[in-house]
Structure 1
Amino acid sequence: MGSRMKVLRVFKDLHKTRKDVFKDDNRAMTAARLKINEEFKRNKNETSDENIKEMLKMARSVETILRENVIQAEHVEENKLLLRPRKSLLLENVPYCDTPGKT
């Protein structure tokens, strides 16, 4: 796959993740869209394959962090937040065991 296709794939994946992560939060969706577009526009004339690879690696890391670590929270009272985790972030609750291997 050529560099151009890889860049477009990462660009689309970032926007897809942005829409999923910031769903129902128009302000965050707009800010993320502007930042993604700004970064790609700023580097659109890059020709060095090494630099392009590094930027693609960074973009993939950002996409992974957004997808795996960001959770939506909404202020509902002065000292209270309502968390809205995506299903992909919810894990099976396994009790902690001090002595692994013993049942």
Structure 2
Amino acid sequence: MRSLEVLKLFKSLHRTSRQVFKNDSKALEAARLKINEEFKNNKDEASSERIAELIKLGSDVEVILRTSVLQGVHTDANKLLLIPRKELMLDNVPFCDIPTQKS
């Protein structure tokens, strides 16, 4: 059963990295190599607890990639153009300096 979880995580990480690093061949290749390397390094792991830890770590990495990574393109020596994905765009909530009174 663990092998299905591992395979699902492997595919999910690759899918997410393709979305996050779209149009950036260097980042895509680096992500692909890193994902493959980490899975290859741990392919002979037999400890159920260690496998669970690795699956949790991989899942956390996938969430961080999907929710926190922005692409940036250098447009000038001191300028960077950020390219947010649609799923990263959140509604802007105005900041309020005055705390609300509790009744």
What TM-score do the two structures reach when normalised by structure 2?
Answer: 0.93
Structure 1 residue 95, shift from structure 2 partner: 1.1
Match of 1:72 in 2: 71
Match of 1:37 in 2: 36
* CA distance in 1 between partners of 2:100 and 2:84 (Å): 29
Q: Which runs of 4+ in 1 moved over 4 A?
A: none
* CA distance in 2 between partners of 1:21 and 1:61 (Å): 15
1:29 partner SS:
helix
1:17-41 Cα offsets, whole Å, 9 max, x none, are: 0000000000000000000000000
* CA distance in 2 between partners of 1:48 and 1:91 (Å): 40
Structure 1: gaps spanning 5 or more residues: none
1:1-103 matched pairs, under 5 angstroms = 2-97=1-96, 98-100=98-100
* CA distance in 2 between partners of 1:93 and 1:36 (Å): 34
Structure 2: gaps spanning 5 or more residues: none
CA RMSD of aligned residues (A): 1.0
What TM-score do the two structures reach when normalised by structure 1?
Answer: 0.93
- Percentage of matched positions with identical amino acids: 53
Give the length in aligned residue pairs: 100
